[in-house]
């Protein structure tokens, strides 16, 4: 299993600090969870049925006609490599490590690329995979470039897989409205923007034939009844979408400014996290953890990623710790 953020209980054991004392900034999940609506007993008691309103609500929210709900976009990340003959798969790295891992584990030839290399390599790839905006670097590939890459790949029956797990805050950059085009596969994650990662819900938008093969592979009832009810309520609450977008953007800007003030100017980020490359990432991670603040550490390249503090008090606590670190490391 690969390393991920959000492993608070391990930090509790490792640093001997009680769970309730931690400020967990180790994931890129919005720290304000959408309200949970009343869940009818039927949603728990009966097997979930498709077309109960969830697919329709998701089509409206995402602005696409063809999509498949899955138990977190992670389920699709693992399944997609099984739906193609073995081939050459380019992945823009560093990115969410489950992508390269899944293609390689299925037996495909993995080619790690940076954005500047794509144009030169594109015609030799069977699949190009990228995360947009990228986790953890925050790099964003413009929509026009993605659609151009897709057109070139599609001429040969090759795929472009765009993981848009962090794009709900800036939906104007999404390519999901084009996902009916053959060979364009768009992944969306419900948990991050709505702050409800525990419900395990994601969506795949793509041409119908591919979605049917994916649905066959994943089997029936992948998304639970309570999740289906809760997600419909979240999609329908359009006023709350605006509020979530605005407060994430403001918190992310404040976080970037705070990091810059303490000598840790972010090298990238998006409205759900900031990313700081530093040779001192490991000592910084440890310094913060000893004060009960958990951030995500990366070693290749050496970096930390910080999610959004939920309140002024959390921000103040982080600011104090970073100021102390800045003084001690000066």
List 73, 174, 227, 234, residue binding ligand PLP (CB under 6 A): 73
Q: Nearer Cβ to ligand PLP, position 28 or 48?
A: 28
Question: Counting contacts by CB under 6 A, is residue 74 touching ligand PLP?
Answer: yes
211 in Cβ contact with 98 (< 8 Å): no
Least gap, CB of 226 to ligand PLP (angstroms): 16
Q: Which of residues 199-218 bind ligand PLP (CB under 6 A)?
A: 202
CB of 200 to ligand PLP, least distance (A): 6
Q: Which residues contact 277 (CB under 8 A, 6 or more apart)?
A: 267, 301, 302, 303
**Prior bond of 136 cis (ω within 30°):** yes
31 touches ligand PLP by CB under 6 A = no
Nearer to ligand PLP, 96 or 325 (CB): 96
> Does residue 72 bind ligand PLP (CB under 6 A)?
yes
**CA within 13 Å, CB half, 13:** 3
From candidates 138, 191, 225, 309, binder to ligand PLP by CB under 6 A: 191
Answer yes or no: are the C-beta atoms of 92 and 134 closer than 8 Å: yes
Kindly indicate which of the ranges 14-22, 66-74, 147-155, 247-255 contains the residues binding ligand PLP, using the contact rule CB under 6 A.
66-74
**Alpha carbon 105 to chain centroid distance?**
21
Residue nearest to ligand PLP (CB): 72
Binding of residue 126 to ligand PLP (CB under 6 A): no
Task: Specify the residue, 74 or 262, whose C-beta has the smaller distance to ligand PLP.
Answer: 74
The residue among 222 and 278 lying less far from ligand PLP, judged by its C-beta, is: 222
Q: Give the span between the Cα atoms of 175 and 148, in whole angstroms.
A: 11
Long-range contacts, stretch 278-281, CB < 8 angstroms, 24+ apart: 278/302, 278/303, 278/304, 280/329
Pairing of strands 302-307, 273-277: antiparallel
Element (DSSP H or E) covering residue 166: none
| Phi, psi (deg, nearest 5) at residue 175 | -110, 15
Is residue 168 a contact point for ligand PLP (CB under 6 A)?
Answer: no
Select 72 or 309, whichever has its Cβ closest to ligand PLP. Answer: 72
Shortest reach from residue 69's CB to ligand PLP, in Å? 11
Q: Which residue has 């001997």 as its token pair?
A: 16
Applying CB under 6 A, among 26, 64, 135, 169 the residue interacting with ligand PLP is 135
Sign of CA dihedral 234, 237, 243, 246: positive
Contact call for residue 81 and ligand PLP (CB under 6 A): no
Instruction: Pick the closest to residue 98 from 170, 161, 179, 159 (CA basis).
Output: 161
189 binds ligand PLP (CB under 6 A): yes
Q: Does 24 bind ligand PLP (CB under 6 A)?
A: no
Name the site residues for ligand PLP (rule: CB under 6 A).
72-74, 96, 131, 135, 163, 165, 189, 191, 197, 202
């Amino acid at each position: 299993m690969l390393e991920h953020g959000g492993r608070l209980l391990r930090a509790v054991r490792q640093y001997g600090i009680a769970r309730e004392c931690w400020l967990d900034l180790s994931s890129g999940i919005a720290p304000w969870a959408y309200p949970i609506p009343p869940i009818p007993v039927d949603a728990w008691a009966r097997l979930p049925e498709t077309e109960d309103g969830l697919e329709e609500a998701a089509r409206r929210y995402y602005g696409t006609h063809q999509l498949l709900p899955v138990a977190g976009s992670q389920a699709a990340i693992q399944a997609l490599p099984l739906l193609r003959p073995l081939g050459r798969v380019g992945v823009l790295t560093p990115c969410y490590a489950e992508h390269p891992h899944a293609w390689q584990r299925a037996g495909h030839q993995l080619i790690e690329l940076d954005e500047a290399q794509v144009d030169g390599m594109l015609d030799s790839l069977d699949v190009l995979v990228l995360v947009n905006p990228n986790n953890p670097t925050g790099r964003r590939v413009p929509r026009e470039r993605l659609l151009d890459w897709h057109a070139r790949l599609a001429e040969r029956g090759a795929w472009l897989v765009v993981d848009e797990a962090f794009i709900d805050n800036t939906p104007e950059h999404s390519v999901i409205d084009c996902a009916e085009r053959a060979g364009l596969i768009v992944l969306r994650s419900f948990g991050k923007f709505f702050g409800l990662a525990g419900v395990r819900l994601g969506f795949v938008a793509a041409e119908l034939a591919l979605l049917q093969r994916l649905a066959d592979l994943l089997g029936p009832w992948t998304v639970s009844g309570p999740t289906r009810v809760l997600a419909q309520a979240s999609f329908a609450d359009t006023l709350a979408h605006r509020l979530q977008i605005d407060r994430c953007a403001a918190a992310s800007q404040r976080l970037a400014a705070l990091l810059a003030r303490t000598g840790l100017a972010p090298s990238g980020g998006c409205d759900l996290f900031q990313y700081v490359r530093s040779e001192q990432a490991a000592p910084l991670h440890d310094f913060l953890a000893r004060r009960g603040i958990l951030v995500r550490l990366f070693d290749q390249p050496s970096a930390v990623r910080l999610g959004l503090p939920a309140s002024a008090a959390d921000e103040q606590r982080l600011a104090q710790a970073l100021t102390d670190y800045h003084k001690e490391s000066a």
